[in-house]
Amino acid sequence: NAGVTQTPKFRILKIGQSMTLQCTQDMNHNYMYWYRQDPGMGLKLIYYSVGAGITDKGEVPNGYNVSRSTTEDFPLRLELAAPSQTSVYFCASIKGARGNTIYFGEGSWLTVV
């Protein structure tokens, strides 16, 4: 059971480049999330999805896009990378029911130079 898998783990981007962070879960979870972590700031929610075909903005969505075409996958797209997007990105998922555990991926370290 792989849980939540994120790729790539590390990436360096140049300003203006685009990339997609991949997130896949094999637990049939309906809820999925993307967070970013900046030093001293905790984790901030970028986007989330409550099921296939449904996405919504979190606290810090600017500069990002997401899609949810399947239950398993929730990719995060950076269209025009900026230095402010240098961060650690975490994908998470949960089977939507009170008491269930939220599972996090291992994180993706992104540097924009």
Partner 1 sequence: AQSVTQPDIHITVSEGASLELRCNYSYGATPYLFWYVQSPGQGLQLLLKYFSGDTLVQGIKGFEAEFKRSQSSFNLRKPSVHWSDAAEYFCAVGAFNDYKLSFGAGTTVTVRA
- Regarding 104 and contact with partner 1 (CB under 8 A), the answer is yes
Question: Can you tell me the distance from the alpha carbon of 43 to that of 37, in angstroms, rounded to the nearest whole number?
Answer: 5
- Regarding 48 and contact with partner 1 (CB under 8 A), the answer is yes
Judged by CB under 8 A, which stretch of 13-21, 60-68, 74-82, 98-106 contacts partner 1? 98-106
Question: Can you tell me the distance from the alpha carbon of 66 to that of 45, in angstroms, rounded to the nearest whole number?
Answer: 13
Judged by CB under 8 A, which stretch of 16-24, 45-53, 65-73, 78-86 contacts partner 1? 45-53
- Regarding 90 and contact with partner 1 (CB under 8 A), the answer is yes
- Regarding 26 and contact with partner 1 (CB under 8 A), the answer is no
Phi, psi at 83, each rounded to 5°: -55, -30
Question: Can you tell me the distance from the alpha carbon of 54 to that of 40, in angstroms, rounded to the nearest whole number?
Answer: 31
Angle at 24 (CA atoms; ends 23, 30), nearest 5 degrees: 105
| Residues forming the site for partner 1 (CB under 8 A) | 31, 33, 35, 40-45, 48, 50, 58, 90, 92, 94, 96, 98-99, 101-102, 104-107
